[in-house]
Structure formats: structure tokens, C-alpha cells
Amino acid sequence: MSNTIMKGIRIVELGTHVAIPYCARELADMGAEVIKIEPPKGESYRTMGMLFQLPFAEDNNFVFTPYNVNKKSLCLDLKSEAGKEAFLKLLETADIFLTNTREMALEKLGIGFHTLTEKFPNLVIGSVNGYGTKGPEKDRPGYDASSFWSPCGAIQEWGTQGSKAFKPFYGFGDAIAAGQLTAGIMTAMYAREKSGKGDIVRVSLLATGLWNNVCGMLRYQAGHKFPKSFNDPIVPLDNFYLTKDGKWFLSSEEHWDLRCRAYFDLFGTPELMDDPNWNSMKGYITNVSEKVKYFEEHISQVTSEEITAALTKVDAVFEFLAETDRVCDNKQAWANDFLRKTETAAGTELTIANIPIRFESQGIIDACTPAPKLGQDSVAVLKELGYSDDQIKVLIESKSIIAK
């Protein structure tokens, strides 16, 4: 079944890496037509698999695939007049233009945002940048590790005292920014229905990082110091504890006084139910290091199955850390269509995430087209724009376009 809520909407994407391509893929999965503009060498994620030590052949690209299924590829040299002319002709037919190309670079090409809005007043433009459009760092390039993670405080807050700062996997901050931009684009499209005018929607990685770590910001302002020791978490169960069968357990317990009996019975210490230092929320969050030692000792003596049975009965919030080789086997995710299978052009099957947005009126996408080869759709798109075979031949010969 195909999701059709965005059917009839044409999107032109001039994006690279994750944030813009992922936003465009979200909208493509909702039914929009996405035409991905790429330079003659292709966008950089076509070869990024080299750094990730993953396959990156044109027809078997692990890194490029998840962000670019359900798209068409039009390969243009925007530095050539013919390539730029084709780009502008395409925008005449578009509803949305998405890019993470820095605005000063677009202005040098003569296709800056305000130039485009004057030429196409009903066009909705979506942009992701590193640091915003004002201030001393507005023109700096940025990726999620630098612009999202590093300035927002989360890495230090989540770290452990005495250890080096951890390095998140690529794309987390980008994916969150992509979701923010999707929301902004949908809002701008709704406003356009009323006014008939487009808009420029900007999202920065810095703003997204700060937005998502507001809890950490509040803790800093209240005087908390980070990173914390394992023996001094915010609350006793705000740690991962190792179970008897080797699972890492975490409980997000905010109603300790209502559920503490289940823990005491599980651990064979029912007498603590009569101890005010243990049986109330006030007691639970005092002498935290003492509580940490208690949980570390007793959780190590029970299995994950025993914990699950005891805590499920009292509707507690808990989970076990997923081993990385089991993430793609999450039964709950498959039951809800949060994951799906796709194939590279070479036929290699990959598990990728489905978009997290659900509409009651729409079905779940159960199939998708493979990520396109570079310039795969160049000829077809240009013919739709009115180019003749001879004109396309000239564009190919001049290398203004690349076509497969």
C-alpha cells in the first residue's frame, strides 16, 4: 500500500549527507515526488561508505540507500548556464525546494533564496544549516557531531566521570533536524493554501540540539555538575545495571513509592518496605550512592526474565539495552511497521527504518523504489520539462547534465 497524503506535490532536493535527504525521504514516503539534484560527481554520501567501511558501489550502496529511496536523480552542473537553466525550469513545476547548500554558495550561483522567492512566489523553501543565519558563526559549515552534539551539552551530561567523551554515530542530530524541517514544511504548505504564498523555512543543527536537550540545560542552571559518577546519578535507577544473565537493565521510575514493593520482593528484601529511607520518594532520592550499591548488588543476582515478570505486573517503565546485532530483529518494531526491508539496485536486502509519522487515514508503505543511480532519471525529467532529444544530447555532450 502506498501513502498518498502528499500525492501531487513535487519536491526538488539539492541535499547531501543526512538532514535534507532524510526530510525529503520522509515526504517521499508520504507520497510526494522527489527529484534529487546532484552534481556531476554525485552527492557526497554516494562515496561516504568508504569512511564507514561499508559497501558503496553505485548499485550496492549501504550508506546512500536509507536516505534516498523513493527518489529520482537528476544530475546537473549548476555552475553551467545550461544546467542552471534546467534547474530553474524544474523549479517552475515544484512546490517545495529543499537544500542544505549554504546560502552564500547559492547566491554566488545566482539562485539564492530571495532570488528564488521573487521568481517563484508560491515556492516553499526548506533549509538546514549548522549555526543559524545570524551571529559570528553563521557562515561556518557544520555536521551533527559538531553543530548538534558538541554545543548542546548532551555528550557531557550523558558521559561517565573519568571517561573520555563518547562519539555518537553519524546522523542522529541530522535525523532529528530532518523531522523538525518536515514539520516546518508541512506548516508552510498549510499556510500557502490560505495565502497562496510560499515561505522560507530554516532549521539549524545548533537550535535543534538545544531544543532537544532542554532537560540538561535546566539541570546546569540548577547547579548540577556533569559528567556524573556511576555512584552519583540523578536518581538511583538512572544507571544501567548488569543482570545475572548479562543484560543491561534501566528503569525510568518516577513513582518509586507506588512500585518499590515489587523491587523489594524481587530482591528478597521485603523488610525495606517498612524503612522510610527506602519506601518513599524522598528516601529514594537521598543517600543515592547507598541505593546504587544496593541495586548493583541485587540486580546482578536476578535474570532479565525475572525482572520483566516482576515489573510488568506493576506497570513499571523499564528496558534492557539492545545488542547492536539485534536491533533489526526488534519484534515490537516489526509488529508496528517501524522497520521495513528494501533492496539496493544490486539486490542486496537491507533493513531500514520506516518514517515514524502515522496517519490514521493512510496505509503503511510496504514497498519502496531503490535509491537511484546517479543521473538515472535525468533524461525523463528533462523531457517532461519540454527538452527535445537533440537538446538533451547537447546538454550531455557539454556535461551540463549526466544521464544514465
Residues tagged active-site: 174
Q: Cα–Cα distances in Å, from 237 out to 42, 79, 252? A: 48, 57, 7
Q: Examine residue 227 and say whether the peptide bond preceding it is cis (omega within 30 degrees of 0).
A: yes
Radius of gyration of the chain (CA): 26
Cα-Cα end-to-end distance for the chain? 29
Yes or no: say if 152 and 209 are a contact pair by the CB < 8 Å rule. Answer: yes
Secondary structure, 3-state, the chain: CCCCCCCCCEEEEECCCCHHHHHHHHHHHCCCEEEEEECCCCCHHHCCHHHHCCCEECCEECCCHHHHCCCEEEEECCCCHHHHHHHHHHHHCCCEEEECCCHHHHHHCCCCHHHHHHHCCCCEEEEEECCCCCCCCCCCCCCHHHHHHHHHCHHHHHCECCCCCCCCCCCHHHHHHHHHHHHHHHHHHHHHHHHCCCCEEEEEHHHHHHHHCHHHHHHHHCCCCCCECCCCCCCCCCCCEECCCCCEEEECCCCHHHHHHHHHHHHCCHHHHHCCCCCCHHHHCCCHHHHHHHHHHHHCCCCHHHHHHHHHHCCCCEEECCCHHHHHHCHHHHHCCCEEEEECCCCCEEEEECCCCCCCCCCCCCCCCCCCCCCCCHHHHHHHCCCCHHHHHHHHHCCCEECC
- Residue 95: which of 128, 125, 119 has the closest Cα? 125
Find, among 179, 115, 112, 105, the residue nearest to 141 by Cα.
105
